[in-house]
Structure 1
Amino acid sequence: MSLYRDSGVVLRTHKLGEADRIITLLTRERGLVRAAAKGIRKTTSKFGGRLEPFMYVDLQLAEGRTLDVITQVETIAPFARDLGGDYAAYTAGTAMLETAERMVSEDGEPAVQQLQLLVGALRALSEQRQTPSLLLDSYQLRALAIAGYAPTFDACARCGAEGPHRDFHAASGGMLCSTCRMPGSAAPSPPTVALLAALLSGDWENAALADDRSRREAGSIVAAYLSWHLERGLRSLSHVDR
């Protein structure tokens, strides 16, 4: 049986048989991995709470025919401990985990940048660096950018004309000028567009100055853009505290 090591964040778990669980992880070297944790639901399990959602872990796995099997686990960062008691942070974090699972494919390819981004976002949530909903929106925009779907908030997404522009169209990739405007475009306020650009670039000094209306509107824009590229919305977004 071939063994290998990897590090990753636990995204989701579900029951397998009477005592096992299938653990879904975003890993550094193999992208999205689904592996079996044998006997984890027994009180005598050697894994304890180290394979719960949000946990950042180092693992040893054995390659299997259908599912790899987790044989060793060491905790790198226990984000689950810090997020469990904060509803706003927990729901934002849950949406991050669902985004990560939907964004990365099970093709065995490394996902170094996506993992680093997720770990950084969960650490920022656990340390309460910014409002949870802003951290979520920034994480989702940057995850899309890593995947090759970075939206444009300054120049026109179709013709490249310099902005500022008034209309946002998800299918076109961002803001559109008056000439390129498409039916069904949204018209976010200028402060909202500025906030979106700040969240994408990680400009927290300016993002923190946004008012509540701009934050809510930006959240709706990010959700629409993400849904377009994922081809359906995230279930967890309905629980996010905005």
Structure 2
Amino acid sequence: MASRASYRDRALVIRTYDFGEADRIVVLLTRCHGLVRAVAKGVRKTRSRFGSRIQPFVDLDVQLYPGRNLATITAADTVGYFASRIIEDFERYAAGCAVLETAERLAYAEQGSALFDATSAALADLQRADSHPTLVLDAFILRATEQAGWGVSLFDCANCQAPGPHRAFNAALGGAVCSACRPLGSADVDPETLHVMWLLQHGHPAETEAVAEVHRLTTAHLQWHLEAALKSLRIMEQA
């Protein structure tokens, strides 16, 4: 059987864990090959050529050699370093971890380069001193889920498409719902909150005093589709 050719790709480090005495398993979100699990051999040795580069919040240009279960990282060059400011602030760090975990979960929807680009943009936004970490995360979730085909309706009724604005939100039905379609358990919501979410979803700047409500509705939408809670979101609650 012919061996598979190695390839080069841009990659974001999602998470890592130690393997053996000196190796490290790395989960990468690549630009062209989706989610890749790889081994970085010998990176925990002090003389490793690229050990310090292979860590979360780093954008890499990596050379990967495909294997049966794991690829092997044979080269890694730093393209962007997002860790500054993020790792110095707990709220930004928690939001950054949630961005990476969300990206990992959404990668199974095979979004190609769009998810990589959206994740990189969110990490860059978290570095900005004037950005609100929670709103950066929520904007990322709203845009990334829309790219994955799970877009949330924030003006028209998600059930009957009656034009809004509406005053209720139901994650199971897909977002805003009118008074006629509203099922039990729907959340009461200020239409202005839904407008802020629409702005975030479409890449527009938004400021609001209802950050907590925007985040609550956005994460409810995400977790409904993922059918599971994210560990990093529980960390954010401690911020």
Alignment TM-score, normalising by the size of structure 1: 0.93
Instruction: Give the drift of 1:191.
Output: 2.5
Partner of 2:26: 23
Letter paired with 1:24 = V
Q: Distance in 1 between matches of 2:43 and 2:51?
A: 7
SS at match of 1:46: coil
Partner of 1:117: 118
Partner of 2:230: 234
User: Which 4+ runs in 1 deviate beyond 6 A?
Assistant: none
Deviations 1:167-193 (A, max 9, x none): 111011111111111121111122322
Letter paired with 1:100 = A
Deviations 1:23-43 (A, max 9, x none): 001101110110000011111
Partner of 1:181: 182
Q: Distance in 2 between matches of 1:66 and 1:190?
A: 49
Partner of 1:225: 221
Partner of 1:76: 79
Please, which runs of 5 or more residues in structure 2 have no aligned partner? Answer: none
TM-aligned CA distance change 1:50 to 1:74, over 3 Å? same
Alignment of 1:26-37 (within 5 A): 26-37=29-40
Instruction: Give the drift of 1:129.
Output: 4.3
Partner of 1:140: 141
Letter paired with 1:145 = E
Instruction: Give the drift of 1:80.
Output: 1.9
TM-aligned CA distance change 1:164 to 1:110, over 3 Å? closer
Alignment of 1:185-196 (within 5 A): 185-196=186-197
2:6 to 3, 13, 30: 3
Matched, 1:52 2:55: yes
Partner of 2:16: 13
SS at match of 1:104: helix
Instruction: Give the drift of 1:162.
Output: 0.3
Given that 1:29 and 1:110 are in contact with CA atoms closer than 8 Å, whether structure 2 keeps it comes out as no
Instruction: Give the drift of 1:97.
Output: 0.3
Given that 1:30 and 1:110 are in contact with CA atoms closer than 8 Å, whether structure 2 keeps it comes out as no
Q: Distance in 2 between matches of 1:152 and 1:49?
A: 43
Matched, 1:90 2:116: no
Alignment TM-score, normalising by the size of structure 2: 0.94
Given that 1:13 and 1:24 are in contact with CA atoms closer than 8 Å, whether structure 2 keeps it comes out as yes
CA RMSD of aligned residues (A): 1.5
Letter paired with 2:9 = D
- Aligned residue pairs, count: 235
SS at match of 1:49: helix
Instruction: Give the drift of 1:232.
Output: 0.7
SS at match of 2:150: coil
Q: Distance in 1 between matches of 2:84 and 2:201?
A: 28
Given that 1:28 and 1:110 are in contact with CA atoms closer than 8 Å, whether structure 2 keeps it comes out as no
Matched, 1:161 2:157: no
Q: Percent identity?
A: 44
Letter paired with 1:239 = I
Given that 1:152 and 1:175 are in contact with CA atoms closer than 8 Å, whether structure 2 keeps it comes out as yes
Q: Distance in 1 between matches of 2:36 and 2:212?
A: 34
